[in-house]
Chains A and B, each alone.
Chain A
């Protein structure tokens, strides 16, 4: 009997945990995108007023971001300093493949950022960054839509699935 209860608790906790982790991932993605927007804004300013070279720009972006984005920008900055790849887009591609970015949208946005870097003219470079920033905003808006309901839904669904499995198994 005790084992049954223990099993039931484990199933509910496992499914609930999965639901909660989905909600946490959602929040994490939001945080990463907000960080990226902030970093892009700073990059645009630096470009327009100081013409900061790309490796320094990426190092600055790494200080504006946390977690994986911080590591990605730092790694990109190192890659650019090493001057191994023919262009900035290849450097970014190489960095992205090294990090396993779970969010497909974030991966696409970073690839687009890589493609936009290293343009010949400053206005073109700034516009490229603006376009990436707009895309981030679009993603953030999509994530913010019914955000609370969706997060609650993930958590409740997780718990309910666990409860349903318990009823089925026991």
Chain B
């Protein structure tokens, strides 16, 4: 297991570092900081709280340290998150600023959710051998990105893989990339898929968290170009995935051949999709 732990500690207020280091080095998944509440350390099987309360200066420090005092430089702030060096993601909550009905930033941050990025080389070995497009499904925090990262890395030992890493958290600096892998960072998924398709000639395209209609459209377009796809989406099961209307086109057009469903213990099951319409699945 690899983790850019020092990068994570670097963005925390000084008073928190020792405790977080002692309690969370091996298993911390999330660190939740809420204004006037004690920091919450969430691990696989436990939630621990520190004694002191978080102040607005602490929250401000985290955001500024993570963005090098340049929150405006992170185009993702308006989407409510920041990616820190090492791939850790900070989700922000607070008073948003709207301009022309669009969020331009966050005026006052009241909560932060720092998700620790960890790399587990080898976890995707069984899935990497599958010959067909794969969709990884899982609830938040179950390790979709971690699995995607490893599968993409293993596939890239034999095939060319283009990774569209919109948030810079699939392959942040310090994480080992695959041999035949090209990573496009900071570009929205829809435009990024089209870009790598045109310019990099990939055999596989990997994208994380397809959440919008344009993401689905770009995957449909890529599918018609003879490229295999590796993607993740928020859903606990195929049924949950089906409920969301934006994914209908993906289902109707048989974009994916395999489903990898992550369980709460972070293991995953592989299912082959015969026909989306009848929902026929073959379990492995």
Contacts and interface: CB of A to CB of B under 8 A. Distances in A.
Interface stretch (B42-50, B53-61, B255-263): B53-61
B108 to A, nearest CB: 10
Interface residues of A, number: 23
A54 interface: yes
A145 interface: no
A83 B65 contact: yes
Contacts of B106: 120
Contacts of B64: 83, 86-88, 118
A119 B77 CA distance: 11
Contact of A91 (B67, B69, B107): B69
Interface in A102-152: 117-125
A2 to B, nearest CB: 64
A40 to B, nearest CB: 16
B158 interface: no
B187 to A, nearest CB: 15
B105 interface: yes
B104 A54 contact: no
Contact of A86 (B58, B77, B97, B105): B58
Contacts of B78: 121
Contacts of B282: none
Contacts of A47: 72
Given A53-B68, A53-B73, A87 B60 contact: yes
A55 interface: yes
A120 B69 contact: no
B278 interface: no
Contacts of A117: 69
A17 B208 CA distance: 71
B70 interface: yes
A86 B72 contact: no
A121 B72 contact: yes
B10 interface: yes
Contacts of B72: 47, 51, 119-122, 124-125
Contacts of B69: 53-55, 80, 87-88, 91, 117-118
B71 interface: yes
Interface of A: 47, 51-55, 57, 80, 83, 85-88, 91, 117-125
Given A53-B73, A80-B68, A121-B105, 15 more contacts: A51-B72, A52-B70, A53-B67, A54-B69, A83-B61, A83-B65, A87-B60, A87-B61, A88-B69, A91-B69, A118-B64, A119-B105, A120-B104, A120-B106, A121-B72
